[in-house]
Amino acid sequence: MTILDGKKTSNDIKNEIKVEVDKMKANGEKVPHLAAVIVGNDGASLTYVGSKVRACERVGFESTLVKMSSTTSEIELLDKIEELNQDTDIDGFIVQLPLPPQIDTQKVLLAVDPDKDVDGFHPTNFGKMALDMSTFIPATPFGILELLERYDVSTKGKHTVVIGRSHIVGRPMSILMGRKGFPGNSTVTLTHSHTKNITQITSQADIIITALGVPGFLKAEMVKDDAVIIDVGITRVPDEARERGYYITGDVDYDAVSKKASYITPVPGGVGPMTIAMLLKNTLLARERHRAMRK
């Protein structure tokens, strides 16, 4: 069994990005600039956004953190997005999800200039992804592809089962694994809360990608020998014995499933760190495109 080490791989990618940024600096060029907008005080979201900003510092990007209160109105957020769309210094930006209930997430995602949409959530970019056109691929699916590629995990002709149909992970992953090329060329089954007999489906899978947020959902008896297991779940389980007051766990019953798997991602240290590295990669791509357009 091989552990798909997202921590190490994401560090490799960050080092590669830093080399590119150092070249830009040496040539007197503008470095990539990422902005992140967070609305409200959700603990996990604040942690994720903080990690994204720190990662920018690590590779030499400029970053801007925009913190807005939990009572921010939809109009106020849309105004801020328009400001970021117009700001020529900013190459890309993200609006951290989920948003508070008074704000319509779809309206917000539609307001982001697709040219700066480094999360790849705008319908224009999502459509381009589905049509194999060059675009920003959402960071978590992009990170999974990168892990499969760097560990040379075979995907051609394999049966990939995706668990969960979220717009951020499950849905795009189901499209990407079926695309022509590597990683891809898989036969894909997308399962969700209305899927009947899920064990029958997962036990036929060569590759399982689970993005549910239900700790321990995927058990050993649901997995065939030598399956590839990608765990996208990140759940904070309260635990007073720990200093932070919680521990992080994934969707997979890791101890039992890892004994059967050929490859597996741990949680933490698997897909999570890859998401941040790929957001940086998308931001670098945005800067390169802007440079080509002399922006």
Which residues here bind ligand GUN, judged by CB under 6 A?
94-97, 119, 139-140, 168, 275
Nearest distance from C-beta of residue 91 to ligand GUN, angstroms: 16
Nearer to ligand GUN, 168 or 205 (CB): 168
- Rg of the chain in Å (alpha carbons): 19
Instruction: Check if 113 is active-site.
Output: no
Place of tokens 């890791």: 254
Instruction: Check if 200 is active-site.
Output: no
Angstrom distance (rounded) from CA 40 to CA 36: 13
Q: Which of 247, 236, 149, 200 shows the shortest CA–CA distance to 189?
A: 200
Nearer to ligand GUN, 48 or 254 (CB): 48
Q: Which of 52, 80, 116, 158 is catalytic?
A: 52
Provide the residue type at 263 as one letter: Y
Nearest distance from C-beta of residue 264 to ligand GUN, angstroms: 21
Nearest distance from C-beta of residue 135 to ligand GUN, angstroms: 15
Q: Taking a C-beta distance cutoff of 8 angstroms, is the pair 271, 144 a contact? A: yes
Nearest distance from C-beta of residue 168 to ligand GUN, angstroms: 5
Nearer to ligand GUN, 37 or 257 (CB): 37
For residue 238, give both structure tokens.
């309260």
Angstrom distance (rounded) from CA 220 to CA 254: 9
Q: Which residue is nearest to ligand GUN (CB)?
A: 97
Nearer to ligand GUN, 34 or 261 (CB): 34
Q: Taking a C-beta distance cutoff of 8 angstroms, is the pair 190, 174 a contact? A: yes
Nearest distance from C-beta of residue 67 to ligand GUN, angstroms: 14
Angstrom distance (rounded) from CA 116 to CA 186: 30
Instruction: Check if 52 is active-site.
Output: yes
Angstrom distance (rounded) from CA 117 to CA 137: 10
Phi, psi (deg, nearest 5) at residue 290: -65, -40
Nearer to ligand GUN, 95 or 129 (CB): 95
Q: Which of 91, 119, 206, 231 is catalytic?
A: 119
Q: Which of 5, 96, 116, 158 is catalytic?
A: 96
Residues catalogued as catalytic: 52, 96, 119
